[in-house]
Structure 1
Amino acid sequence: MSHTVEKIGGTSMSQYEAVRDNVVLHNRTPEQYYQRMLVVSAFGGVTDGLLECKRTGAPGVYATYADAEDDSAWEQTLDNVCNRMAQINEDMFGRTPERALADSFLQDRIAGIRDCLHHLRQVCAFGQFQLAEQLQTIRELLAAMGEAHSAHNMVLYLRQSGVNAVLMDLTGWRTDEALPLDEVLEQAMARFDLSSQLPVVTGYAHCKEGLMSRFDRGYSEMTFSRLAVLSGAREAIIHKEFHLSSADPRLAGQDQVIPIGRTNYDVTDQLSNLGMEAIHPQAAKGLRQQDIPLRVRNTFEPNHEGTLITTDYRSPSPCVEMVAGRRNIFAVELFDQDMVGRVSHYAECFTDELDGMRLNLVSKDMNANTLTYYISGNRKTVRTLVSALQRRFENADINTHKVSVVSAVGSDMSIPGLLARSVVALNKAQVPVRAVHQSLRAVEMQFIVDDEYYEQAIVSLHDELVQTNAETVALAVA
């Protein structure tokens, strides 16, 4: 039997006992601990402290260092993160010998980072060197610290239970050169024997391509994916703190949602576009091309098989598998009567302005004289976009609206009357629909609603399109 490559998310990593008991040891004899590689994220909240909070944007070490005029602010932030990681060490190891090893590793890395940031400040005091040119490198250095800490801790923790865990440190700590990612991974894998060792791999990999510059905080999924592809894994597995379910259980109700047993990579692409990444699209690409199945499992339900994602899966009968959505979307509407016959030119200019602004295009629609782009990002950047468009098209009327996108998603949704049922359900729930998008491929149907109606839209569509169908199937089986 060939091996698996398995990724453990940050929230799951914080529940390290569950990772040990449910992921590594569960129903396995000592001989069965191996033929696996574990790619780990930083413990929950650590990367937020090192970079910036992913949810709120609150500054971490990186953001403080980039903006501070003196060293006191970023040093205090670094101390705070270091104290948080030291507390994790204490919680995991108490007064055992492993605690001293974990603390020594942490102190050495933090001291190295502190020295590096101090020296860079000194170098940039000379006019020939600009701090802005080094910020991406600093971001990668700090992000790597989170994964190095969690991977090293997990190795020590698993060894306490008799597992021959070994650290596969891909962070490039004190290395002289950056190699291409595939070469970094191949050289690292050559040093381990999967038949008798369990490599615990840092989710961050230092490489020539610069994973963060291309994928920002989705870098660990690229490391995970390329390891699976290059090693010819039997299966790639992601362990999360929840099931991939028919809707968000916090909205639709824990007892109402249904774990998805099977789906395909096409569906995961749609989810990624909505900000609900089962896996980053570029990471999924390699798995899909090599026909490697991806399984998403719940860390806290080890007996559940999770969701199996393959290239060729299609639901046995047409159905809606999930209702998902994305809040806080800006609808940027550009109306210009001169657009008639020149829509493609306007769309090209719109896209040009989007590039480089760190705004994510979620959806768009158009008619003879109007383009509407649905964009996720911060309000300040959206204002910058609108100003740039106004300079290009002086006679255009450009308006922005705060909306949400709610989608029905499935591997085959070619169901007669599905759109009509959906609109009736939303109307019954008193949800005004601002726009509707239905593609010919029958894998997604989008509804644009005002942001205040987001939760109502999710619940009403899930009740009508998923729950009703599940109840019908249950009655038919009975």
Structure 2
Amino acid sequence: MTKTSHTVEKIGGTSMSRVKELRDTLIAGPHRQNNLYNRIFVVSAFGGITDLLLEHKKSGKPGVYALFSNADDDHGWLDALTEVGREMSKAHMDVLDHAADRQSADEFVRDRIEGARSCLFDLQRLCSYGHFRLSHHMMVIRELLSGLGEAHSAFVTSLLLQRHGVNARFVDLSGWRDSAEVDLETRIKQGLADVDLTTELPIVTGYAQCSEGLMKEFDRGYSEVTFSNLAALTDAKEAIIHKEFHLCSADPRLVGEENARKIGRTNYDVADQLSNMGMEAIHPKAAKILRRAEVPLRVTNAFEPEDPGTLIDEAPADVPSVEIVTGLDVVALELFEPDMVGVKGYDTAVLEALRRHNVRIVSKTSNANTITHYVEASLKTVRRVSADLEKLYPSAELQVRALAIASVIGRDLSGLKVLLRGLTAMDREDIEVLGAHQGPRRVDVQFVIGRDHLGAAIKTLNAEYIGQAELHDAEANLVKKRAA
């Protein structure tokens, strides 16, 4: 690959379903006539395709993978795979206008779907012998199926752009029919080995097949890991994620567009806090890769290509300010044990039980005889954890409650009295605060509330910090104008 100053840019699945629109704006719009190249695009599958291949991300409805792993017969997963092929065809028919391009895309889908079908049949036959276990191969199958969606969208996007006069190049990192086993770095370097970024626009699959097995560690967050590794390995000027919306001070759908503002500038510390609250600007491990490589991250609205979006780097804040208010439904697991005072080991036991049930911790508080973990999991799962701990500590009192956390986040919250103002504002709105926490680093303040109050709490906190800040800014500007 020719060494040059370039960006690595990622387009998510929902935005990919509008790639034809993006062609005329973000990718090859009028403002791009003189700087079309020196970019690498990493694309996700078209919206909904990965759900059909694996399982629905929100509802859990089984896709090809889930049906294959639990198959009593072949009809379920076979029908599901056929349905994937149909949906892929619908997706590219909506994007491609030229008959030759549509035919190429149809042939591509047919080859990949039939190839996957043959592979799954062969694996079933192999595992009919006692020496082989299907369970040993399921992660490989998950990766194989997932890669189908990214390969399809990248291929179709390259066709779309080529027809538009762009020298786009399909770069398939999915390892399709590749017998070599290579690590992620080698896979990326091989894929871009002879690419000239000054004259070509690579369209790269978000999934990369490698010996490490991306899905084993990142599951469906793999595309951001591919994206961040690609940016780091190619020494990109910037890594850019194009979303359907700006990174805002609060969810515009909740607080109203007029009450939310684009963040504009923040750092990786804030990105970590957002990830912890389930509002990922980027996968935390992907952010770590970019941070170590000293590659800044930019989050933009894909459909407002002339807006620079929000830059995320290592820079501290110029002045203290609240940057974002967000929230998350959690389950509180409270262990009260009077005998805990002065005794070590209780915390370790709780952590081990949570790890065993694969429960993610959002926050934690403790005092002399009580440990409370706020976790992101179902009530059913947390009750299993509670049952394990009751056996271990029969004299302890355990309580499981469905609650929520509203979090106020910023690079520097010092001197803003965030905790006091938040408690006062919510008391004014009759929102009961069950707990509150502020660490000495002053990057976030968390308020524990009932789930029914989360929306109201976010609106209240957003009005208190963001609305007040904008009011003060307006007043300051007015004073400056009068002085002038």
Distance in structure 2 (CA, Å) of the matches to 1:416 and 1:224:
37
Distance in structure 2 (CA, Å) of the matches to 1:30 and 1:359:
49
Q: How far 1:357 sits from its partner (Å)? A: 2.9
Residue 460 of structure 1: aligned partner: 460
Q: How far 1:31 sits from its partner (Å)? A: 5.2
Letter of the 1:420 counterpart: L
Instruction: Say if 1:288 and 1:310, in contact at 8 Å, map to a contact too.
Output: yes
Instruction: Say if 1:319 and 1:415, in contact at 8 Å, map to a contact too.
Output: no
Superposed, 1:54-453 pairs within 5 Å as 54-94=57-97, 96-314=99-317, 316-327=318-329, 329-342=330-343, 344-453=344-453
Letter of the 1:332 counterpart: L
Deviations 1:381-418 (A, max 9, x none): 32332222223222222221111111000001012432
Q: How far 1:325 sits from its partner (Å)? A: 1.1
Q: Percent identity?
A: 46
Distance in structure 2 (CA, Å) of the matches to 1:298 and 1:244:
8
Q: Secondary structure at the match of 2:448?
A: strand
Greater CA drift, 150-159 or 52-61: 52-61
Distance in structure 1 (CA, Å) of the matches to 2:384 and 2:122:
35
Instruction: Say if 1:262 and 1:313, in contact at 8 Å, map to a contact too.
Output: no
Letter of the 1:467 counterpart: G
Distance in structure 2 (CA, Å) of the matches to 1:177 and 1:392:
49
Distance in structure 2 (CA, Å) of the matches to 1:261 and 1:29:
22
Instruction: Say if 2:383 and 2:400, in contact at 8 Å, map to a contact too.
Output: no
What stretches of structure 1 of length at least 5 have no aligned partner? none
Distance in structure 2 (CA, Å) of the matches to 1:416 and 1:114:
59
Count of residue correspondences: 475
Q: Kindly report structure 1 stretches of 4+ aligned residues shifted beyond 3 Å.
A: 27-31
Greater CA drift, 10-19 or 450-459: 10-19
**1:25 correspondence with 2:11:** no
Cα 1:431–1:29 change in 2 (3 A) is closer
Q: Secondary structure at the match of 1:406?
A: strand
Distance in structure 2 (CA, Å) of the matches to 1:136 and 1:380:
26
What stretches of structure 2 of length at least 5 have no aligned partner? 479-484
Distance in structure 1 (CA, Å) of the matches to 2:177 and 2:204:
17
Cα 1:381–1:131 change in 2 (3 A) is farther
Distance in structure 2 (CA, Å) of the matches to 1:380 and 1:79:
35
**1:3 correspondence with 2:3:** no
Q: Secondary structure at the match of 1:255?
A: helix
The partner residue of 1:49 within 48, 52, 62 is 52
Distance in structure 2 (CA, Å) of the matches to 1:29 and 1:209:
37
Cα 1:11–1:160 change in 2 (3 A) is same
Q: How far 1:355 sits from its partner (Å)? A: 2.1
Distance in structure 2 (CA, Å) of the matches to 1:286 and 1:182:
13
Letter of the 2:342 counterpart: G
Instruction: Say if 1:182 and 1:230, in contact at 8 Å, map to a contact too.
Output: yes
Q: Secondary structure at the match of 1:112?
A: helix
Letter of the 1:436 counterpart: A
- What TM-score, normalized to structure 2? 0.95
- What TM-score, normalized to structure 1? 0.96
Q: How far 1:425 sits from its partner (Å)? A: 1.0
Instruction: Say if 1:30 and 1:163, in contact at 8 Å, map to a contact too.
Output: no
Residue 475 of structure 2: aligned partner: 475
Q: How far 1:184 sits from its partner (Å)? A: 1.2
Instruction: Say if 2:170 and 2:202, in contact at 8 Å, map to a contact too.
Output: yes
Letter of the 1:207 counterpart: C
Q: How far 1:313 sits from its partner (Å)? A: 3.1
Cα 1:356–1:151 change in 2 (3 A) is farther
Distance in structure 2 (CA, Å) of the matches to 1:3 and 1:24:
14
Deviations 1:196-251 (A, max 9, x none): 11110101111111111111111111111111111110111000000000000110
Letter of the 1:277 counterpart: E
Distance in structure 1 (CA, Å) of the matches to 2:326 and 2:477:
27
Instruction: Say if 2:361 and 2:375, in contact at 8 Å, map to a contact too.
Output: yes
Q: How far 1:28 sits from its partner (Å)? A: 4.2
Letter of the 1:386 counterpart: S
Letter of the 1:164 counterpart: N
Greater CA drift, 285-294 or 240-249: 285-294
Distance in structure 2 (CA, Å) of the matches to 1:285 and 1:348:
26
